[in-house]
Amino acid sequence: MRLSRRDLVKLGAGAGMSLGLGWRPTVGQTKPLIQKPIPSSGEMIPVVGIGTARRYNVETEAELAPIREVLRRYPDLGGRLIDTAPGYGRAETVVGRLVNEIGNRDRMFLATKVAVGGRRGQPGGDTIQAGKDQMERSMRLLHTDKIDLMQVHNLRDVDTQLGTLQEWKQDGRIRYLGITSTSSRQYEAFERVMREYELDFVQMAYTIDNRGVEERLLPLAADRGMAVLVALPYGRGRVFRAVGGLDSPLPDWAAEIDCESWGQFFLKWIVSHPSVTCAIPGTAKVSYLIDNHGAARGRLPDAGMRQRMLEFFEGL
Ligand SMILES: NC(=O)c1ccc[n+]([C@@H]2O[C@H](COP(=O)([O-])OP(=O)(O)OC[C@H]3O[C@@H](n4cnc5c(N)ncnc54)[C@H](OP(=O)(O)O)[C@@H]3O)[C@@H](O)[C@H]2O)c1
């Protein structure tokens, strides 16, 4: 049963609430992990995950070594969700191989995507079979017989692919289904799909300097009981450049919301939005992992503090 907005608030999903649910103390981590519920099931997930675009498209042992360390340490820090895609070059291969080697698949929430055919209305060939073939391949590469979340990537051939995803969910081959797009040109189409289908997750770009989804898509996700994954939380590093680099000082009051870095400042600003479930910063180094996952602990900004953060950022 899908949780209502009121249930979510009761579970503490409102901005500014630190959630102790699911907290296991881990060495060196004294603050509870912040998690939010997936509205369609009530399952809790940590508010910070991992994205694998670009930086997981690697091959050599030297390139794989830091990623192996990230994936080994991630669940110990309390993390679970990893977002990948067939479109990210070797990323699925890398995630599948390393998670299999480490043996921590059962501690991960694996999200991937399907992207076949053309845009809506212009499917090419048998896209039903092509989508199934692609998802079978993802399962082989990820060494799993069940994908936690399967998303239609950039709304490609969305109506046909969602049909298959619904079947696969019923058959227990995927646990959740959803859609993704990070392009403002697709907002309208995105909204149409959100209104027409029962989706568990929607993935969209939301960054302190890119707030277009606040107007319609984020409120709609809350109304429709859909979990929101936030792609591009750092605008591929753009926001760090905007503040003058990682070494530029944070405002003193950032300590009031337990921010020790710009990464935590930007992630906490995002995940404190009441509609947002989890942000997925690209994380291919242990130093980034520790920093990013620090944003899933301690206090979150309330609405007033979010406004202050935004004004500070815009004033720079
Ligand atoms: N349409 C879609 O479905 C779609 C589209 C885009 C993205 N996504 C998803 O969203 C995820 C995130 O997007 P993204 O990786 O492209 O961009 P991003 O998360 O906005 O930025 C990632 C970059 O920020 C830097 N970084 C990460 N953690 C940092 C930290 N703690 N301190 C300083 N710098 C840090 C790294 O840059 P350097 O590596 O240069 O140091 C990293 O590559 C993707 O991996 C993907 O899973 C989905």
Give residue 45's domain range: 5-315
pLDDT tens per residue, range 278-312: 999 999 999 999 999 999 999 999 999 999 999 99
If one counts the domains in the chain, the total is 1
pLDDT tens per residue, range 170-194: 999 999 999 999 999 999 999 999 9
Separation between Cα atoms, residue 206 and residue 214, nearest integer Å: 8
Ligand 1 atom nearest 183 alpha carbon: 1
Residue 171, classed as helix, strand or coil, is coil
Separation between Cα atoms, residue 127 and residue 156, nearest integer Å: 10
Q: What integer pLDDT is reported at residue 24 of this predicted model?
A: 45
Asked if residues 201 and 176 have their Cβ atoms less than 8 Å apart, the reply is yes
- Ligand 1 center from residue 272 Cα (angstroms): 19
**pLDDT exceeds cutoff 80 at 22:** no
Distances (CA, A) of 43 to 39, 89, 135: 8, 30, 24
- Ligand 1 center from residue 235 Cα (angstroms): 7
For 35-139, where are the E strands, in sequence order? 35-37, 44-46, 50-51, 81-83, 109-114
- Ligand 1 center from residue 129 Cα (angstroms): 31
* Ligand 1 pocket list (CB less than 6 A): 51-55, 83, 153-154, 180-182, 203, 231-237, 240, 246, 263, 280-283, 288, 291-292
Asked if residues 111 and 81 have their Cβ atoms less than 8 Å apart, the reply is yes
pTM of the model: 0.93
Which CATH number does the domain housing residue 33 bear? 3.20.20.100
Per DSSP bridges, beta strands 81-83 and 50-51 are parallel
Beta bridge partners of 227: 201
Q: What integer pLDDT is reported at residue 7 of this predicted model?
A: 65
**pLDDT exceeds cutoff 70 at 108:** yes
Token output for 230: 């936030």
